[in-house]
């Protein structure tokens, strides 16, 4: 099993944007998304430590921990801590999938099982676990 952590507030994959270059429409990925996918890739390289890419089906498990809002009361913090707001879980999975392409696995089409958990906690970040099937 490959296990890696990405520190900081989780960021979902942003929608492609359109811009005009020399009179032609070009699509581009937002810089915030590109930077976050690079951070995920760096964590993946460190976790792989020179091991070969995973070939074949795999299971991807992502736990996204978000910072507890400062406005929450202590009573609310002590209760259920599931994060049900934005960003969407599927967009978080897309960012992880694209960030680890060519780093942990050959292509994110190899993901046969994917699961995401979103919750609040004291230390924001992503915990990613990859298990070859």
**110-119 tens-digit pLDDT:** 999 999 999 9
CATH level 3 topology of 2-132 = 60s Ribosomal Protein L30; Chain: A; (3.30.1330)
pLDDT digits (tens, 9 = 90+) for 6-41: 999 999 998 888 888 888 888 888 889 899 999 999
Tell me, what's the pLDDT at 122? 85
Segment 42-53 mean pLDDT: 95
d(CA 100, CA 104): 6
The pLDDT assigned to 21 comes to 83
Where is pLDDT greater, at 27 or 130? Answer: 130
Task: Give pTM, 2 decimals.
Answer: 0.87
Specify the higher pLDDT residue, 70 or 127: 127
CB 3 within 8 A of CB 127: yes
Given a cut of 70, whether residue 99 has pLDDT beyond it is yes
Domains of the chain, by residue range, sit at 2-132
* pLDDT tens-digit series, residues 76-98: 776 668 999 999 999 999 999 99
17 Cβ neighbours under 8 A, 6+ residues apart:
27, 28, 29, 30
pLDDT for 29 = 84
């Amino acid at each position: 099993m490959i296990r890696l952590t990405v520190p900081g507030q989780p960021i979902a994959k942003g929608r492609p944007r359109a811009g005009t270059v020399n009179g032609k429409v070009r699509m581009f990925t937002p810089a915030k998304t590109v930077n976050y996918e690079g951070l995920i890739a760096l964590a993946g390289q460190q976790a792989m430590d020179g091991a070969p890419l995973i070939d074949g089906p795999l299971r991807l498990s992502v736990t996204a921990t978000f910072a507890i809002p400062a406005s929450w009361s202590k009573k609310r913090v002590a209760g259920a801590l599931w994060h049900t707001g934005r960003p969407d879980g599927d967009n978080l999975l897309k960012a992880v999938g694209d960030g680890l392409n060519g780093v942990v696995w050959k292509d994110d089409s190899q993901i046969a099982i994917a699961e995401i958990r979103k919750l609040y906690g004291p230390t924001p970040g992503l915990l990613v676990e990859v298990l070859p099937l």
